[in-house]
């Protein structure tokens, strides 16, 4: 087991705009042993939760999300930026620390009563994740779990979620 995953996260100052300290998770994925450990940690956390769908947020949620879905025997659902999904979609707009944006999901992505794990690389102010949770709630799931690889605790992104949303992160700053 790798004890300090933080050492594998690259910090990029002033990206994508001045004042942002970007946490680059791609450095976590380039070594097989670290990728395997992340996969094992996530699987161990959610293997007994009855997850039927893993939803990953564009784009870094598309890396661990499908890996985890396969291990859990669940389907994978992409949550994407506008204009990327070809069929009918739901859309939610949100503010983030350096602008505004929106996310979309196919209207037929999830069936009512499913248990969904929402995965992304980073929880900062919570805008993207909160919008994604609102998208998933349109399907009336039994439960929504939220997982991020990294959480920037001082930005208090968790405060944007309802109390019943279960949130877990692996690396905290």
Mean predicted confidence (pLDDT) in 54-65: 96
Mean predicted confidence (pLDDT) in 55-79: 97
Distance separating alpha carbons of residues 74 and 164, to the nearest angstrom = 22
Distance separating alpha carbons of residues 155 and 23, to the nearest angstrom = 14
The per-residue pLDDT for range 23-59, each reduced to its tens digit, is 999 999 999 999 999 999 999 999 999 999 999 999 9
Helix, strand, coil shares of the chain, percent, nearest 5, are 30, 35, 35
- What pTM, to 2 d.p., does this model score? 0.93
Distance separating alpha carbons of residues 154 and 106, to the nearest angstrom = 33
Q: Does domain 48-172 have CATH number 3.40.190.10?
A: no
Q: Where are the domains of the chain?
A: 48-172
Q: Which residues pair with 148 in a beta bridge?
A: 120, 169
**Are the beta carbons of 160 and 173 closer than 8 angstroms?**
no
Residue 169 belongs to what H/E stretch? strand 166-172
Whether the per-residue pLDDT at 96 is higher than 80: the answer is no
Catalytic residues: 60, 97
Q: How far apart are the first and last CA of the chain?
A: 20
């Amino acid at each position: 087991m790798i004890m300090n995953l933080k050492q594998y996260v690259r910090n990029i100052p002033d990206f994508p705009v001045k004042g942002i300290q970007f946490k680059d998770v791609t450095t976590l994925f380039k070594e097989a042993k670290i990728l395997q450990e992340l996969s094992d940690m996530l699987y161990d956390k959610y293997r007994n939760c009855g997850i039927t769908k893993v939803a990953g947020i564009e784009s870094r949620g598309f890396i661990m999300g499908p890996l985890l879905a396969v291990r859990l025997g669940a389907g994978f659902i992409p949550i994407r930026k506008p204009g990327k999904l070809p069929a009918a979609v739901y859309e939610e707009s949100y503010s983030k620390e350096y602008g505004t944006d929106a996310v979309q999901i196919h209207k037929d992505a999830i069936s009512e009563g499913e248990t969904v794990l929402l995965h992304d690389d980073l929880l900062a102010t919570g805008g993207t994740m909160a919008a994604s949770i609102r998208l998933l709630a349109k399907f009336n799931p039994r439960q929504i779990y939220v997982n991020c690889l990294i959480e920037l605790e001082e930005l208090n992104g968790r405060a944007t979620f309802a109390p019943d949303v279960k949130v877990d992160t692996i690396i905290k700053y």
